[in-house]
Amino acid sequence: MTTRLPEVEVVLVGFGWTAAIMGHELASAGLKVLALERGPWRETVPQFATTHVQDELRYAVRHALFEKPARETLTFRNSPDQAALPMRHLGSFFPAAGVGGAGVHWNGQTWRFLPTDFRIRTHTEQRYGKRFIPEGMTIQDWGVTYDDLEPCYDRFEYLCGISGQAGNVQGTVQPGGNPFEGPRARGYPLPPLARSFGTVKFDAAAREAGFRPFPCPAANTSQAYRNPLGVQMGVCTFCGYCEWFACGNYSKSSPQTTILPVLLQNPNFSYRTECDVTRVLVDKAAKRATGVVYVDGQGREIEQPAQLVILCAFAQHNVHLMLLSGIGTPYDPQAGTGVIGRNYAYQITSSVDVFQDDITNPYMGAGALGQAIDEFNGDNFDHGPEGFVGGGYIALWTTGGRPILQQADVPEGTPKWGAEWKRARAENYQRVLKIATHGSVMSYRDAYLDLDPTYRDVYGNPLLRMTFDFHDNEHRMSRFLTDKAALIAHEMRPRSIKKNYRDGHYSIVPYQTTHNTGGAAMGDDPKTSAVNRYLQSWDVPNVFVLGSSVFPQNAGYNPTGTVGALAFWAADAIKQRYRPNPGPLVEA
Amino acid sequence: MGLNRRAWLRRAAGWGCAPLVAACSPPRPLGNPDPDAAPIARPVVDIGYRFLRPAEVAFVDAAVSRLIPADELGPGAAEAGVTVFIDRQLDGAYGKAVDWYMQAPFGHGSEQQGYQLPARPAELYRAAIRGIDDHCRGTFGNRVFARLDAHEQDALLHALEDGDSDVPAAHGKSFFKMLWQNTQEGYFADPMYGGNRGFAGWRLVGFPGPRYNYVAEIRQWGQPYGEPPVGVLGRDWRRRQPGMT
């Protein structure tokens, strides 16, 4: 029996980065907002205390902060002719459960996408011709431009207290920054982090190789910071436990460290934890949402009516909810029709291990302490001779030296276990440097999300089914990036290097990145996008969809900067456009 | 497709129908106490074994001693307590696959689709060790794995790793992968979990343990850090805990 509660103005599904931003923006504008989070309450004290959070086994290996596949997972296959099977334990990516979402356990690598990323189809066709885009690649323009989002990027960066060196302020290239970035109105709020020995060596080697390295923008504070909401952060101490851990030091930007202390005092805002939303309720014509249904911590089914429903869950969960709720037309890969589930994408990563002789103290690190080059990202270089679309950055990150999973690389030819392996680990833990490549993944007709016909979640709902593989375009692009990374590796004058190309089929098993995107793409055309340029559902105008689920394809940068910017962008649209005149903000 | 858990368990090691780990229970309601919310993991009291039986202890001791042997560089996995670590992991949430999606049907997927066996880690250990020891008795003159010499043990571990069908143990390749992963976990995890005793793993590589502040040291490029390892519970917590060794 379903309990029906009194209506609220706005319900947010999930309580991570996007819900915290949206909650603050809308509650501050006078709307009554309720956030529903499937996971537990989490706060810096006591859950993240440094007296216990620096535990690699519990957090990085046993996944204490992440969603539990026993409750919710997806099925996976590489191609539509395979039978999908469940992801029985986490592997390739780590969605969070709990207040703060993945904003609790991220590294803090906070980038802007390039101006050309937002108009990739138009730009690629103009520069290289229509035939440059291969058959089956379904990339599209976003419907927003970099210039639209610039003030929103700025707000997110100042909310977080990003440490970095601007590369382009109002069109003037700045020394020491990323010369390829889009123009920004002003510099970062904090100077770059102190450098680790690894990043110093990378910087010198990259210059030797003829590139222009710069410090990576970091949501780890290089100095104490007070953000525009008045929330204070402490300086990062380089403890080396960022990614997959929560920060106990108030020095990694998260909803907890930047918004919640203010938001939770706002009488217009409330939240409920351990409330798992299973449906968005829509009227008979599927034109208007009337609220959501969730299962609470006692297993009771609750109906929460709402005037406006904003999906702020992790990328594929937003799509899952839309498919289960009948919002929009499900994508049909055979016919090429429908939009919900269309254009799922990911990122393609590779690395070059550099075995050199200096002691690097890798455990002194921070999640976004890195040095990068951007010569081969986006369309920063001539793709004509290469024949592929996309690119990525090449970076050396010093995120930590946690010894189960980090600094475990040994030179080529080392046995996989036994005495020689032991000796190689002893010799190389302090000395191996890893240069990473972080490549874009385009969208394709045969990469999509739909409902699984066989497997069900804990509530009896069909699991989401992911059909995804790397395509030739991405393999060639990633190989290109890896070879460029090797040029920098050689300049470090190493004993040896090891190139770890990302070849073959995509695998759900080894961790790669939690940069899952798409499935509810944004755009200008309701035939190819699930939401319009304001992140509003074309079909159900009182539903908005946030997060990387709206990316029409993925870029060669970590997504959180863009996810945060889009949250401000959508919040502005709701406050300034939707609220005075509820209805479609763009005519279909 | 369609192999169910019970059938797998029977086939794996001829157990009849008594699974050794409690049958699948539905995930707990969201409102129940969250074990992840506990402020600190309970340190392992390393007296006796909770899951592994004596023959299994002998197997794990012998196997992890080949994977990470004791030598002039320092203690091996067995000396560092990795068998105790594995025992406690198998006895806990990991061994029971509490967080894993274990609903049928269990299909045979591609390598890219990952683990698809109906066995939880504790069940896989039990079945595989029994299968390997049975194979050893038949092949090596009634000697179990722990009684083989080092060369024979290495050859057998390689055969498991390679999925060599001459070893009719239950899913040897999956088992080897799990055993090797768990061995490294135990050797390098915080000592409060029973392995990495005396910080053996951390001393081997030069990891000083979880520390709070490197603000001054991070700029001392190329200089050794020099401080001895410390764990989440400090350096000499075993002496402070009743019942600790």
Which one of B205, B213, B230, B237 makes the best mutation probe of the A interface by having the most chain A beta carbons within 10 Å? B205
Question: Tokens 């970062």 identify what position?
Answer: A188
Q: How confident is the model at residue B24 (pLDDT cuts 50, 70, 90)?
A: very low
Mean pLDDT for B211-218 is 94
- Whether B231 and B199 have beta carbons less than 8 Å apart is answered as yes
| Domain presence at residue A375 | yes
pLDDT in the model for residue B37: 53
| Domain presence at residue A586 | no
Q: Across the strands, what pairs with A35? A: A12, A271
Contact: B205, A299; criterion CB under 8 Å = no
| Domain presence at residue B102 | yes
Phi, psi of B82 (to 5 degrees): -65, -30
Alpha helices in B29-98 (DSSP H): 54-67, 82-91
| Domain presence at residue A587 | no
Contact: B180, A425; criterion CB under 8 Å = no
**Touching A: B residues 160-219, CB under 8 Å:** 161, 180, 184-185, 188-190, 193, 201-202, 204-208, 210-215, 217-219
| Domain presence at residue B65 | yes
Contacts of B50 (CB under 8 A, 6+ apart): B87, B88, B91
Whether B4 shows a pLDDT value over 90: the answer reads no
Phi, psi of A365 (to 5 degrees): -155, 180
CA distance A149 to chain B (A): 35
- Whether A65 and B36 have beta carbons less than 8 Å apart is answered as yes
CB atoms within 10 A of CB B203: 18
For chain B, the straight-line distance linking the first and the last C-alpha, in angstroms and rounded, comes to 48
Summarize pLDDT for B48-98 with one digit per residue, the tens. 999 999 999 999 999 999 999 999 999 999 999 999 999 999 999 999 999
- Whether A301 and A295 have beta carbons less than 8 Å apart is answered as yes
Question: Tokens 């101006």 identify what position?
Answer: A115
Phi, psi of A276 (to 5 degrees): -100, 105
CA distance B61 to chain A (A): 14
| Domain presence at residue B30 | no
Using CB atoms, which residue from B30, B40, B189 is nearest to A57?
B189
pLDDT in the model for residue B47: 77
Which positions in chain A touch B73 (Cβ < 8 Å)? 422-423, 426
Using CB atoms, which residue from B98, B114, B232 is nearest to A52?
B232
Q: What is the pTM of this model?
A: 0.95
User: What dihedral do alpha carbons A391, A394, A400, A405 form, nearest 10°?
Assistant: 60
State how beta strands A517-519 and A496-500 pair. unpaired
Whether B244 shows a pLDDT value over 50: the answer reads no
Helices H, strands E: what count in chain A? Answer: 13, 24
Distance CA A429, CA B73 (A): 14
- Whether B160 and B176 have beta carbons less than 8 Å apart is answered as yes
State how far Cα A415 lies from the chain centre. 35
Which positions in chain A touch B184 (Cβ < 8 Å)? 404, 408
Quick one: closest CA in B to A506, which residue? B112
CATH assignment at residue A284: 3.50.50.60
pLDDT in the model for residue B5: 56
Work out the burial of residue A301: count CB atoms within 10 Å of its CB; fewer than 13 is exposed, 13-18 middle, 19 or more buried: middle
- Whether B34 and B148 have beta carbons less than 8 Å apart is answered as no
- Whether A585 and A542 have beta carbons less than 8 Å apart is answered as no
Which tokens belong to B119?
Answer: 């066995």
Using CB atoms, which residue from B27, B188, B208 is nearest to A70?
B27
From residue A254, alpha-carbon distances to A157, A183, A250, A469 in Å are 12, 25, 9, 32
**Touching A: B residues 20-59, CB under 8 Å:** 26-27, 29-32, 34, 36-37, 39-41
Asked if the C-beta of B230 comes within 8 angstroms of chain A's C-beta atoms, the answer is: no
Asked if the C-beta of B1 comes within 8 angstroms of chain A's C-beta atoms, the answer is: yes
User: What dihedral do alpha carbons B86, B92, B95, B99 form, nearest 10°?
Assistant: -130
Which tokens belong to A67?
Answer: 């969603």
Alpha helices in A129-221 (DSSP H): 146-160, 197-208
Distance CA A534, CA A546 (A): 10
Task: Please give the tally of structural domains in chain B.
Answer: 1
Distance CA A200, CA B221 (A): 9
CA distance A423 to chain B (A): 7
Task: Tell me the Cα Rg of chain B.
Answer: 20
Which one of B1, B8, B24, B30 makes the best mutation probe of the A interface by having the most chain A beta carbons within 10 Å? B30
Whether B9 shows a pLDDT value over 60: the answer reads no
Asked if the C-beta of B123 comes within 8 angstroms of chain A's C-beta atoms, the answer is: no
Amino acid (one-letter) located at A572: D
Task: Tell me the Cα Rg of chain A.
Answer: 23
Question: Tokens 């356990």 identify what position?
Answer: A105
State how beta strands A85-86 and A74-77 pair. antiparallel
Whether B112 shows a pLDDT value over 90: the answer reads yes
**Neighbour order of strands in the sheet with A348-355:** A214-215, A370-373, A392-397, A432-439, A348-355, A496-500
CA distance A339 to chain B (A): 26
Quick one: closest CA in A to B150, which residue? A418
Which positions in chain A touch B27 (Cβ < 8 Å)? 68, 70-71, 458
The three-point CA angle A526-A527-A528 to 5° equals 90
pLDDT in the model for residue B169: 58
Using CB atoms, which residue from A52, A197, A423 is nearest to B221?
A197
Domain that holds residue A118: 3-578
| Domain presence at residue A126 | yes
CA dihedral over B200, B204, B205, B209, signed as positive or negative: positive
A176 vs B41, residue with greater confidence: A176
Distance CA A582, CA A405 (A): 50
Query: What does the DSSP 8-state code read for residue A30?
Result: T
Chunked in runs of 10, what are the mean pLDDT values of chain A (588 residues)? Answer: 95 98 98 97 90 92 96 97 98 97 98 98 98 98 98 98 98 97 98 98 98 98 98 98 96 98 98 98 96 96 98 96 98 97 98 97 98 98 98 98 97 98 98 98 98 97 98 98 98 97 97 98 98 98 98 98 98 98 95
| Domain presence at residue B222 | no
Q: How confident is the model at residue B6 (pLDDT cuts 50, 70, 90)?
A: low
- Whether A304 and A292 have beta carbons less than 8 Å apart is answered as yes
Q: Of the candidates A323, A82, A460, which has an alpha carbon nearest to the alpha carbon of residue B116?
A: A82
From residue A182, alpha-carbon distances to A111, A124, A172, A366, A371 in Å are 11, 17, 10, 26, 18
Quick one: closest CA in B to A235, which residue? B215
Which tokens belong to A247?
Answer: 């920060």
CA distance A429 to chain B (A): 6
Quick one: closest CA in B to A504, which residue? B112
pLDDT in the model for residue A151: 98
Phi, psi of A85 (to 5 degrees): -125, 155
Summarize pLDDT for B130-181 with one digit per residue, the tens. 999 999 999 999 999 999 999 999 999 999 999 886 666 568 999 999 999 9
Q: Across the strands, what pairs with B234? A: B231
CB atoms within 10 A of CB A561: 23
Question: Tokens 């790669």 identify what position?
Answer: A512
CA distance B167 to chain A (A): 20
Contact: B215, A295; criterion CB under 8 Å = no
- Whether A33 and A271 have beta carbons less than 8 Å apart is answered as no
Phi, psi of B157 (to 5 degrees): -65, -40
Q: Of the candidates A188, A587, A124, A183, which has an alpha carbon nearest to the alpha carbon of residue A388?
A: A124
| Domain presence at residue B220 | no
Task: Please give the tally of structural domains in chain A.
Answer: 1
Query: What does the DSSP 8-state code read for residue A178?
Result: -
pLDDT in the model for residue B137: 96
CA distance B205 to chain A (A): 4
Which one of A422, A452, A502 makes the best mutation probe of the B interface by having the most chain B beta carbons within 10 Å? A422
| Domain presence at residue A206 | yes
Which positions in chain B touch A425 (Cβ < 8 Å)? 204-205
Quick one: closest CA in A to B200, which residue? A426
Using CB atoms, which residue from B101, B205, B215 is nearest to A403?
B205
Catalytic residues of A: 515
Alpha helices in A285-393 (DSSP H): 315-325
| Domain presence at residue A91 | yes
Helix, strand or coil, per DSSP, at residue A403? coil
Which positions in chain B touch A238 (Cβ < 8 Å)? 213-215, 218
Distance CA A288, CA A301 (A): 21
Helix, strand or coil, per DSSP, at residue A545? strand
Q: Across the strands, what pairs with A4? A: A303
Which positions in chain B touch A509 (Cβ < 8 Å)? 111-112, 114-115
Using CB atoms, which residue from B31, B112, B225 is nearest to A507?
B112
Contact: A194, B94; criterion CB under 8 Å = no
Q: Of the candidates B108, B111, B115, B45, which has an alpha carbon nearest to the alpha carbon of residue B81?
A: B45
- What is the 3 state secondary structure string of A250-274? CCECCHHHHCHHHHCCCCCEEEECC
Domain that holds residue B102: 5-14+41-207
Contact: A407, B211; criterion CB under 8 Å = no
